[in-house]
Amino acid sequence: MGKKILIVLFRLAIAAGILTACADNKIDFTEESEYHAYGKTWKYSTIEHHSRRWEFFTTHGVMGNVDLIDQDVFLEADGGERIPVHDRLYALQKDGSFRKINCCDDSSTVANVYSVNDKLFVFFLQRKESVTNCFVYPAGQPDNEKLPPGKQINWIEFFGEFDPGSGVFRVNSFFAGDVDWAAETGPNWKQLWAKESLADYRKRIYLHRTSFNCAK
């Protein structure tokens, strides 16, 4: 019986290798914008590498096809360096240092760059443990870490402001969700939200960002 199971698993492993080798791959140039910040004009573009491959132990079953995404995000100033945003993210840690972090390797963690008040900032979703050991939490959930693992919210909305001197984005704030939108924008705030774009929403919450608590 045990030998039969091993043979079946061996055949499945061979099939997985063949199917993985034949994985579908596609490249999309998904966005291109122009921003004005720091006295310069910046060209912003993203490239997404989509692929599908066969894997064991997928999130929707024991085995099957899995859709993967890997994103490259670029900034380029007039006559200047082409900056790979996805490779220039540094997050604040408890010891005061900024640690390089990974981004944009999942459909949930793709990054976007926006311009507000003559500054550039990056927005992305990521798990706390992948970014910082400082105290941060999902919007409206300051007690998230006290919940059982199965009930915790994994994704946090992070922001990083661009430092034109060093060419890096310093990630040291997040959206805590502690905003009284009715008091700020009036009783019809939900109707206003329904009309705004995703970019407008992210710019708005950026203006209400909260700094990492690295003393807690």
Q: Could you tell me which residue, 12 or 83, shows the higher pLDDT?
A: 83
Cα distance from N-terminal residue to C-terminal residue, the chain: 55
- The H-or-E segment that residue 21 falls in is helix 2-21
Helix or strand or coil: residue 83? strand
Percent of the chain clearing pLDDT 90 (strictly above): 47
- Mean pLDDT of the 150-161 span: 93
- Mean pLDDT of the 179-203 span: 85
Q: How far is CA 168 from CA 46, 74, 162, 181, in A?
A: 17, 12, 6, 32
- Mean pLDDT of the 90-119 span: 87
Predicted local confidence at residue 27, as pLDDT: 55
Cβ contact 74:84 at 8 Å: yes
Predicted local confidence at residue 129, as pLDDT: 93
Q: How far is CA 3 from CA 12, 73, 113, 192, in A?
A: 14, 49, 54, 64
Predicted local confidence at residue 62, as pLDDT: 52
What is the DSSP secondary structure assignment for residue 96, as one 8-state letter?
S
* pLDDT tens digit sequence for 2-24: 444 434 334 444 444 444 444 45
* pLDDT tens digit sequence for 29-77: 566 789 999 999 999 888 766 566 555 444 444 555 555 566 678 899 8
**Distance in angstroms (rounded) separating the CA atoms of residues 212 and 54:** 39
Confidence bin at 178 (pLDDT 50/70/90): very high
Confidence bin at 28 (pLDDT 50/70/90): low
Joined together, the tokens standing for residue 55 give: 């894997």
Return the minimum-mean-pLDDT range out of 1-15, 93-107, 157-171. 1-15
Each domain of the chain, given as residue ranges in start order, spans: 2-211
